[in-house]
């Protein structure tokens, strides 16, 4: 969780814990592909030429797995509270959604979901939104407490 304060509000960004950058992931893929291809060519030159199609298949499968991983690496949830409006932006793979809720005390409620993997629920007058998909259980409790505290400090509309 990354908090930023300012202008009477706050901003919170929740992201996946990515251990490698996209450029690093590309470097690892290139190194594995070159190593696999070198080993495959070595066996082909020794007379086992049928290994090359399998090496190619392995490189393609590894590339697909890395692309799927990289697509999700940039997922995030951004929560902003300013001037009585709670704005939540959710990015998952290629899809982005933006939600705006009236942050008056009467209109937005924060509830902690029950059970393993349950998200923090924001309930507005007309919609319900689950947050914390990239957090562990303890961090979700902390998020719910912080959001409740911040919403209580907002002036009623």
CATH number for the domain that contains residue 143: 2.30.29
pLDDT at 54: 95
CA gap 119, 131 in Å, rounded:
5
**Statement to judge: residues 47 and 88 lie in one domain:** no
Q: How confident is the model at residue 81 (pLDDT cuts 50, 70, 90)?
A: confident
**Statement to judge: residues 142 and 68 lie in one domain:** no
CA gap 43, 79 in Å, rounded:
54
Q: Which domain holds residue 40?
A: 22-73
**Statement to judge: residues 49 and 35 lie in one domain:** yes
Kindly give the residue spans of alpha helices, DSSP state H, lying in the chain: 22-45, 51-73, 137-153
**Statement to judge: residues 90 and 144 lie in one domain:** yes
Mean pLDDT of 99-110: 68
**Statement to judge: residues 133 and 88 lie in one domain:** yes
Query: Tell me: the pLDDT tens digits for 14-68?
Result: 888 878 877 888 899 999 999 999 999 999 999 999 999 999 999 999 999 988 8
**Statement to judge: residues 58 and 121 lie in one domain:** no
pLDDT at 113: 66
Please report where in the chains the tokens 């291809």 appear, as a residue.
37
**Statement to judge: residues 62 and 80 lie in one domain:** no
**Statement to judge: residues 59 and 12 lie in one domain:** no
Please report where in the chains the tokens 């990289």 appear, as a residue.
70
User: Which of 6-15, 18-27, 76-85, 104-113 comes out lowest in average pLDDT?
Assistant: 104-113
Total domain count, the chain: 2
**Statement to judge: residues 81 and 147 lie in one domain:** yes
**Statement to judge: residues 109 and 86 lie in one domain:** yes
Which residues are bridge partners to 62 per DSSP?
none
Judged against a pLDDT cut of 60, whether residue 92 lies above it is answered with: yes
């Amino acid at each position: 969780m990354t908090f930023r304060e300012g202008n009477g509000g706050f901003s919170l960004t929740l992201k996946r814990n990515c251990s490698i950058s996209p450029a690093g992931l590309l470097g690892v893929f290139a190194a594995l592909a070159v190593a696999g291809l070198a080993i495959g060519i070595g066996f082909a030159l020794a007379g086992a030429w049928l290994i090359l199609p399998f090496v190619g298949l392995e490189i393609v499968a590894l590339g697909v797995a890395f692309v799927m991983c990289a697509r999700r690496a940039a997922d995030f949830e951004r929560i902003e509270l300013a001037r009585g409006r709670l704005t939540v932006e959710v990015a998952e793979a290629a899809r982005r959604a933006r939600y705006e809720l009236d942050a008056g005390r009467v209109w937005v409620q924060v509830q902690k979901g029950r059970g393993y993997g349950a998200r923090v629920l924001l309930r507005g007058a007309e919609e319900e939104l689950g947050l914390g998909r990239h957090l562990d259980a303890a961090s979700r409790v902390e998020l719910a407490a912080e959001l409740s505290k911040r919403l209580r400090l907002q002036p009623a509309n």
